Structure 1
Amino acid sequence: MKRTGWIIYNGNLPGNKFLDFAEMIQTAARTLNSKAEIIKNNDLLSLLTTSSLGLLSETSLPDYVVFTDKDIYLAKQLEYLGVPVFNQAKAIAVSDDKIATYQKLSKLQLPIPKTIIAPKIFHTGSFDERIIDKAIKELGFPLVMKEAFGSFGEQVYLVKNKQELDKKLQLIGNKPFVFQEFVHTSYGVDIRLQVVGDKVVAGMKRRSADDFRANITAGGRMEAYTPSQEEEELAVKAAKAIDADFAGVDLLNGDRNQPIVCEINSNAHIRNLYECTGINAADYMMEYILNKL
């Protein structure tokens, strides 16, 4: 039976990278004889009434949805309507919230940088100096301050002293964030492993000459990478920890070369990975989805 699908991306974001990701998945679907339509999230309005819930759309619901956006309310609406969504809303929500991600990983005792969750403050509140002193005592300088929500290495700051810390607190304001141990053994270097189901399908190492972050958008360079068995197993466990069907898992290199989970990206873009390795993760993603159905 020929399966039909929707590939949903955010139509409000600038640039072509988000559409490009969707098009890669669409091409992979066609190769596997599945008709997949690319749809902007703002073309699918969720409707809620006392007696029903649905979509303000005349298009028939598909057999599956590949969700490349972070609009978790739309993803959940589609799930309520009985459509299998990859990744599910719960996985997207946890991945998008770095604090929730670290909590999931810590609960399963997977290796992460030592992390202190900053207490929530409201707009008119101020940060308690005692909290700052405890964070400095526990982590020392330099330390990382990382906002809960952010992509492409943004909203992540390396702080070298108390003066810089105070400035970042002013910048962050009342947004949720963490204080985090700086993994000095991985300065400017990380590993991106693309997980699909129970396996790593591709990997690359990213390096930056002048930034502690290795993201390509922050100026990092990439090279194909073959992970160790330990790294593969950790990446798969990390993706499963947030209930992701597929994810880009970023690992740091800790003391004695121990891999440490830095972040999990449920909607990781795969163009750079393809250009670096020649492996199209979209093919594996679509094969996984159609087999799951």
Structure 2
Amino acid sequence: MGHTFSGAAMPQHHVSLEPCVDAILAHVGNDLRVGVPLGLGKPVALVNALYARAKADPTLRLTLLTALSLARPVPGSAVEKAFLAPFIERVFGDAPELDYVRDQRAGTVPGNVSIREFFFAPGSQLGNPRAQQDYISTNYTFAARDVFAQGCNVTAQMVACIDRPDSDGGPRYSLSCNPDTGPELIALMRDAEARGERKVAVVAQVNRRLPFMFHDAEVAATTFDHVIDAPGLQHALFCAPRQPVSDADHAIGLHASTLLKDGGTLQIGIGQLGDAIVHSALARHQRNA
């Protein structure tokens, strides 16, 4: 087991989104400052439910604190659509989209909603002054600290789950591919809650198609105040298209793999070079000659 936090004795379990939204509002109030991970870890269905509630109720203030909001490519002309539509269906499947991204593109995000991000996909917010002005200038080292400083009172994440009981007899949960900033942010929020400075809610949205990572990525059920687990939320994961790996990338990957110590770790990014390094590292481990 990885991180443990002092929170609820056991989380409230929900099989649909709206009761969870109601419970969050009842506890935290009408000024929601919601921190969600960058990239794949966003609980898209819950974020969309919170956003829809804010659009329907102008007395509700919603601030989303996040980074790298992934979105499907939008074809322009009919020719682009004809070529892209099969590709989009094959790559993205039934992975849901973030409704606020669509409204950002159209310039229709309501005034009671702020989208504050500390990392954009390159060029994604050109010509969007509101998104640029709401940008949080930080880096990943200080992301949790700076999101907390924005008044974050709700944090939500898509998590992996296996039904094999833990020591308490319940399912096991993992922060999967986003195990880094979440625990730090949760610790800051729990400390503020213990001092009586802030009412907070920590929410998990289960997706069993998310890979279950062990060790420090695994967290106790008591980490969360609310867990949403419903059959309709077991959707495909957002997948970035993979580009072919060049000979130069393979050469770099082969060299990098020789620098790894046995039992060591290497942090890599997304893209062709990362794929090449992983390929060579796996070859070294599985077919070492």
TM-score normalised according to structure 1 size = 0.24
Larger relative contact order (Cα-Cα within 8 Å, sequence gap ≥ 6) = 2
